[in-house]
Amino acid sequence: MKRTTRWTASLAAACISFAGFVQTAQATLITTEQVAATEGVRSASAQRDYVNATLARADVAAGLQARGVDLDQARARVAALTDDEVAVVAHTLDTAPAGAADVLGVLLTVFIVLLVTDILGLTKVFPFTRSIR
């Protein structure tokens, strides 16, 4: 009995000594805009500002002028877009690959097509292939 009492008293002392380390939490209401900002979601006006900022870049303006597009006309068209259309354009700007087309993929495809036609005996482009004919 004395052993059980001593064990219980030691356990109670340990629990009481760790009771001071308990942290309190505070909860407040947050708005939808705050949640969207932390998640990286932009409002329609922020997306429109992003598209306009992209149009204001010197390289984009030069590229548009090289293709015969007036910069003021492009800004007017962005201003005329609906919120959904601006969201699609902003998403496309975020996810589009930098640079031109996938040159490596095109070269690999051409190489494979020529290799297969060499093996089938239809062409003779590569000296390291043997025709099946």
For the chain, the 3-state helix, strand and coil shares in percent, each to the nearest 5, are 70, 0, 30
21/69 same-domain check: yes
Distance between the two ends of the chain, CA-based, in angstroms? Answer: 97
Structural domain harbouring 29: 2-96
63/114 same-domain check: no
- What is the domain count for the chain? 2
Q: What whole-number distance in Å separates Cα of residue 30 and Cα of residue 54?
A: 31
From first to last of its 133 residues, the chain has per-residue pLDDT tens of 688 888 898 888 887 877 777 777 788 888 887 887 777 677 888 888 988 998 898 888 888 888 888 888 888 888 888 888 888 888 888 887 766 556 777 788 888 888 888 888 888 887 888 877 6
- pTM beyond 0.75: the answer is no
91/76 same-domain check: yes
